[in-house]
Amino acid sequence: MPSAALPPIEYRIRPAHPGAHLFEVSCTVRDPDPAGQVFRLPAWIPGSYMIREFARNIVSLRAEVDGQPWRVEKLDKHSWRAVPLRAGGTLSLHYEVYAWDLSVRAAHLDETHGFFNGTSVFLAVEGRTDRACLVDIERPEGAGYRDWKVATALPLARGVRGGARAYGFGVYRAADYDELIDHPVEMGTFTLGHFEAAGVTHDIVLTGRHDCDLGRLAEDLRRVCEWQIALFGAPPPMDYYAFLTMVVGDGYGGLEHRASTALLCSRADLPWKGMEGLPDGYKTFLGLCSHEYFHTWNVKRIKPAAFTPYDLTQENYTRLLWAFEGFTSYYDDLALVRSGVITPDDYLGLLGKTVSNVLKGNGRSKQSVAESSFDAWTKYYRQDENAPNAIVSYYAKGALVALALDLQLRAGSDGKKSLDDVMRLLWQRHGQTGQGVAETGLFEAVREVGGDTLGPKLARWLQKTVEGTDDLPLARLLKGFGIEYHAEPASKAPWLGVKLAAGNGEAKLANVFDGGPAQAAGLSAGDVLVALDGLKVGSKSLDEMLLRRRPGDAVKLHVFRRDELMSFSVVLAETPADKVSLKPAIKAGAVASKLRRGWLGSAA
């Protein structure tokens, strides 16, 4: 029998105890497996490559068959099974979920708002994940919640009793479990803004206190979204989109979904009425929105074969995150300049910071971006104090790989081909068909787009680059586009080779870098510097004290390691030239200027 003709899986979720951060959830199966129906909660959420064990937040669980108590047994850390039951009974599981994770990945509930990803709250029904799902989102009880609304890209359940209206509580529908968990939900007294892009309504949902100029934000996002839609070709693959944004004092994060994104931002990063120019914080927030929106195509629909379908019970390994996250990280800021939201000079400033961040980590000489992609589950998402010395970011270096590839495609074809053509090919061949990208698929796409002469050469270069650890020849490539590359020390002070932890003013070492003076002297991450040459030192005074020294000088450092006072003699060194700045060449030739305009837009 076609799954559409089978009874849907029915869910109900209610913010039962906002003060205790508890959602009450139920899952009802009209035709459960008589041999014993199994339920599972995902162990991770797509887009965030780490096993998170969401089932640990289920604090109680019970089962009923036709309203009567029924025994349910736990099989493993995230699976339950109702004991065998007679045919024809209706099985319901009722459970409470603790929701106090203020992030874009899980669930959060208090008296001010509620937020959840389906992976945190909706049990999957084994053998029935292809069924349609109905979910009744209920309002919290009490007069204080009378003004709450709902924001989600979940489709309304039209024609169903209790069906929700736009922004309302009630019943929503999903075609299957995969869709159900790909539409996060925000509820509360949020601020709502709108804009149209390529005929599609886009909502901006802001939860938390703010003074945002919604008109300015909507106009800037409209331009970015329209540019991305035009890149891949209209119409976009969704008929509605929502930017679900939690505004806090200090925060940053985003997670992509098929028709929405969950965002966390600092209120200072939002635009305000009368704001002049384009502050760095606002550029950062626009880049985050652009990044998650680009994922609508790249990773939500153009997927690695390893993700088609997802197995949410365990790690799903691929060596391609440098393309799916890295290429997205390249296009996020590029979309800002090509859409005219920021200037070419703004863009080059952002790009210089990305280059600098990659150069600061010695892990780039030990781990390739392909290895970083494969090891995301255990290394990138579980970074420790040695991370800068051991790993490379497939986001940041992946973006630079995309940059180098784009520049070579443009220069080698006299501007006729670019990475845009590769992305469009991937969209047509994989995004629109649902066929996953093989581990060699990016190399094949580049070979095809580049043509008989350029294609094989660039495909070989790309494979060698992503599987190796060499630095990218960015200075040479950018020169051909009339861009000057300058590298200099980030500080005039001599180099100690450490990074301090953010904190209460104490000079606690967060990282000790390979090959640096501190490591050579025996200092370790976690040490707290208390004196330099007999004078008290803190996080703010350390640089001032080092400015009075020169490379080659020996200084005596006193530190606390645990509760023991230790002293070290450190010979300071030259500060590495790892701060990169990029700017247009004053005298660029006609060919370079033409290529630069093709890359950054007519204003470049």
Summarize pLDDT for 452-463 with one digit per residue, the tens. 999 999 999 999
3-class SS of residue 152: strand
Q: How big is the chain by its Cα radius of gyration, in Å?
A: 26
pLDDT at 88: 76
Measured CA to CA, the distance from residue 80 to residue 94 in angstroms comes to 12
Do 311 and 396 belong together in one domain? yes
Do 266 and 395 belong together in one domain? no
3-class SS of residue 428: helix
DSSP assigned state of 427: I
Write out the DSSP string of 360-423: T-GGGGT--HHHHHHTTTTTGGG--TTHHHH---TTHHHHHHHHHHHHHHHHHTTTS--HHHHH
Closest alpha carbon to 47 in 321, 375, 246, 335: 321
Is residue 340 within a helix (H) or strand (E), and if so which, with residue range? Answer: none
Q: How confident is the model at residue 505 (pLDDT cuts 50, 70, 90)?
A: confident
Do 164 and 33 belong together in one domain? yes
Contact 176, 129 (CB under 8 A): yes
Do 386 and 477 belong together in one domain? yes
Q: How many residues does the chain have?
A: 604
Is residue 221 within a helix (H) or strand (E), and if so which, with residue range? Answer: helix 214-232
- With a threshold of 0.85, does the pTM exceed it? yes
The CATH number covering residue 197 comes to 3.30.2010
Mean pLDDT, rounded, for 452-481: 98
Mean pLDDT, rounded, for 286-313: 98
Measured CA to CA, the distance from residue 376 to residue 63 in angstroms comes to 37
User: Between 419-426 and 214-232, two packed helices, what is the crossing angle to 10 degrees?
Assistant: 80
User: Between 326-338 and 419-426, two packed helices, what is the crossing angle to 10 degrees?
Assistant: 120
Kindly report, residue by residue over 110-120, the tens digit of the pLDDT. 999 999 999 99
Measured CA to CA, the distance from residue 375 to residue 602 in angstroms comes to 40
Do 13 and 156 belong together in one domain? yes
Measured CA to CA, the distance from residue 422 to residue 328 in angstroms comes to 13
pLDDT at 4: 59
Amino acid at 64: E
The residues that bridge with 70 in the sheet, in sequence order, are 63
Do 341 and 410 belong together in one domain? yes
Q: Where in the sequence is the domain holding 245, given as residue range(s)? A: 190-274
Distance in angstroms between the alpha carbons of the first and the last residue of the chain = 59
> Which residue reads 């459960």 in tokens?
32
Amino acid at 489: P
What does DSSP say about strands 185-188 and 149-152: parallel, antiparallel, or unpaired? antiparallel
The CATH number covering residue 114 comes to 2.60.40.3650
Biggest distance spanned by C-alpha atoms of the chain: 83
Do 322 and 439 belong together in one domain? yes
User: Between 396-412 and 326-338, two packed helices, what is the crossing angle to 10 degrees?
Assistant: 60
Measured CA to CA, the distance from residue 378 to residue 42 in angstroms comes to 18
pLDDT at 504: 82
Tell me, yes or no, whether 47 lies in a domain: yes
Contact 391, 383 (CB under 8 A): yes
Position 2 pLDDT exceeds 60: no
Tell me, yes or no, whether 91 lies in a domain: yes
Helices (H), 87-130: 118-121
| % of the chain exceeding 90 in pLDDT | 96
Closest alpha carbon to 192 in 181, 207, 177, 179: 207
Do 469 and 514 belong together in one domain? no
Tell me, yes or no, whether 111 lies in a domain: yes
Query: In b/e form, how buried is each residue of 130-149, taking b as 16+ CB within 10 angstroms?
Result: ebbbbbbbbbbeeeebeebb
Kindly report, residue by residue over 540-595, the tens digit of the pLDDT. 999 999 999 999 999 999 999 999 999 999 999 999 999 999 999 988 899 999 99
| % of the chain exceeding 70 in pLDDT | 99
Q: What is the mean pLDDT of the chain?
A: 96
Measured CA to CA, the distance from residue 424 to residue 419 in angstroms comes to 9
Tally Cβ neighbours within 10 Å of residue 21. Answer: 19
| Two structure tokens written together for 27 | 């899952």
pLDDT at 589: 93
Convert 228-293 into a string of H (helix), E (strand) and C (coil): HHHHHCCCCCCCEEEEEEEEECCCEEEEECCCEEEEEEEHHHCCECCCCCCCHHHHHHHHHHHHHH
Do 436 and 523 belong together in one domain? no
Do 163 and 36 belong together in one domain? yes
Kindly report, residue by residue over 436-451, the tens digit of the pLDDT. 999 999 999 999 999 9
Tell me, yes or no, whether 424 lies in a domain: yes
Domain boundary among 274, 308, 341: 274
Tell me, yes or no, whether 340 lies in a domain: yes
The CATH number covering residue 478 comes to 1.10.390.10
Tell me, yes or no, whether 288 lies in a domain: no
Phi-psi category of 235—alpha, beta or left, where left has phi over 0 and alpha has psi -120 to 50?
A: beta
Contact 403, 351 (CB under 8 A): yes
How many domains does the chain divide into? 4
The CATH number covering residue 551 comes to 2.30.42.10
Measured CA to CA, the distance from residue 33 to residue 527 in angstroms comes to 57
In 468-553 the beta strands, taken as DSSP E runs, fall at 483-488, 498-500, 507-512, 528-532, 535-536
pLDDT at 581: 97
pLDDT at 161: 93
DSSP assigned state of 315: -
Position 1 pLDDT exceeds 60: no
Contact 265, 204 (CB under 8 A): no
User: Between 280-294 and 326-338, two packed helices, what is the crossing angle to 10 degrees?
Assistant: 120
Tell me, yes or no, whether 292 lies in a domain: no
Kindly report, residue by residue over 222-258, the tens digit of the pLDDT. 999 999 999 999 999 999 999 999 999 999 999 999 9
Tell me, yes or no, whether 517 lies in a domain: yes
Kindly report, residue by residue over 400-417, the tens digit of the pLDDT. 999 999 999 999 999 999
Domain boundary among 188, 220, 235: 188
Q: How confident is the model at residue 3 (pLDDT cuts 50, 70, 90)?
A: low
Measured CA to CA, the distance from residue 64 to residue 82 in angstroms comes to 9
Measured CA to CA, the distance from residue 200 to residue 198 in angstroms comes to 6
Do 473 and 560 belong together in one domain? no
Neighbour-count burial of 206, counting CB atoms closer than 10 A to its CB (0-12 exposed, 13-18 middle, 19+ buried)? buried
Kindly report, residue by residue over 337-380, the tens digit of the pLDDT. 999 999 999 999 999 999 999 999 999 999 999 999 999 999 99
pLDDT at 429: 97
Domain boundary among 163, 188, 213: 188
Kindly report, residue by residue over 37-89, the tens digit of the pLDDT. 999 999 999 999 999 999 999 999 999 999 999 999 999 999 999 998 777 79
DSSP assigned state of 162: T
pLDDT at 263: 98
Do 21 and 146 belong together in one domain? yes
